[in-house]
C-alpha cells in the first residue's frame, strides 16, 4: 500500500499510531537526495525521525508499506544513536581507483537499525548514518569495530549531549 502525507508532522503522527506495518520505503516528494531507512518498526523509525531532523526535512512524504500481524507493544524506545560519516569517490589522477567505505559500511550494518543520508558529490558520494545502539554488549562491540574499520569518523553518545574528544573517533574508512 502507498500513502502520502503533506507534512513531516503528519508522517510522524501516522507512524506513532501504526502498530502492524512493514515499512518498504519512505520518500520525500520532490526531493533529490537518497534517504535509506532500515528500522524494525514504525515506533523505532518515529524515534529516529524525531532525533535526526536533517535526514527528514520539512515537506510532503510518500510511504509504501505492508500490513504485518506482529505486535509492536514490546518495542523499546531508542534514545541512543551513533552517527557515522562515510564516502565513496574516484581519485582524480587514478579514475579506476575508488576510495571510501560507503558500500561496505551499509552492507556491514544490515543487521542494525539505521537511517542513511547519501548525497552525490562531484567525485562520488558522501553520507552520514544514524545507527540505533544495540543493547546486547556483543552487538555493541561489533558495531564499534564496524564503524572503526569502515567509517571516516563516528560518534557514540557519552551522556553529555555534545560532540567532544571523548565521543568523536576517527575511523579507517577512507582506504577500504
In a domain? residue 120: yes
Q: How far is CA 124 from CA 54, 107, 116, 149, 176, in A?
A: 21, 18, 16, 20, 15
This prediction has a pTM of 0.61
Same structural domain, 88 and 152 = yes
Same structural domain, 102 and 159 = yes
- Tens-digit pLDDT profile for residues 45-67: 776 676 655 667 777 777 777 76
- Tens-digit pLDDT profile for residues 122-138: 889 999 899 988 889 99
For residue 58, the cross-strand partners are: none
Same structural domain, 53 and 120 = no
In a domain? residue 9: yes
Say how many Å lie between the first and final Cα of the chain, rounded.
39
The low-confidence residues of the chain, meaning pLDDT below 70, are 19-28, 30-44, 47-48, 50-55, 67-79
Identify the domain containing residue 141 by its residue range. 81-170
DSSP code of 8? H
In a domain? residue 75: no
In a domain? residue 176: no
Query: Where a domain ends, among 15, 34, 67?
Result: 67
Same structural domain, 59 and 98 = no
Amino acid at each position: 500500500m502507498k500513502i502520502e502525507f503533506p507534512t513531516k508532522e503528519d508522517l510522524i503522527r501516522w507512524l506513532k499510531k501504526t502498530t502492524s506495518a512493514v515499512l518498504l520505503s519512505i520518500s520525500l516528494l520532490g526531493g533529490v537526495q537518497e534517504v535509506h531507512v532500515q528500522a524494525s518498526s514504525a515506533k523505532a523509525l518515529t524515534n529516529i525521525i524525531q532525533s535526526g531532523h536533517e535526514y527528514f526535512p520539512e515537506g510532503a512524504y510518500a510511504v509504501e508499506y505492508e500490513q504485518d500481524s506482529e505486535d509492536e507493544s514490546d518495542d523499546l524506545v531508542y534514545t541512543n544513536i551513533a552517527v557515522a560519516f562515510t564516502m565513496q569517490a574516484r581519485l582524480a589522477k587514478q579514475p579506476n581507483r575508488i576510495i571510501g567505505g560507503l558500500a561496505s559500511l551499509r552492507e556491514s550494518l544490515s543487521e542494525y537499525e539505521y537511517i542513511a543520508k547519501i548525497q552525490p558529490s562531484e567525485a562520488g558520494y558522501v553520507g552520514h548514518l544514524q545507527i540505533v545502539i544495540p543493547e546486547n554488549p556483543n552487538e555493541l562491540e561489533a558495531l564499534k569495530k564496524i564503524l572503526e574499520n569502515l567509517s571516516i569518523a563516528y560518534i557514540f553518545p557519552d551522556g553529555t549531549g555534545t560532540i567532544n574528544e571523548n565521543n568523536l573517533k576517527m575511523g579507517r574508512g577512507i582506504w577500504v
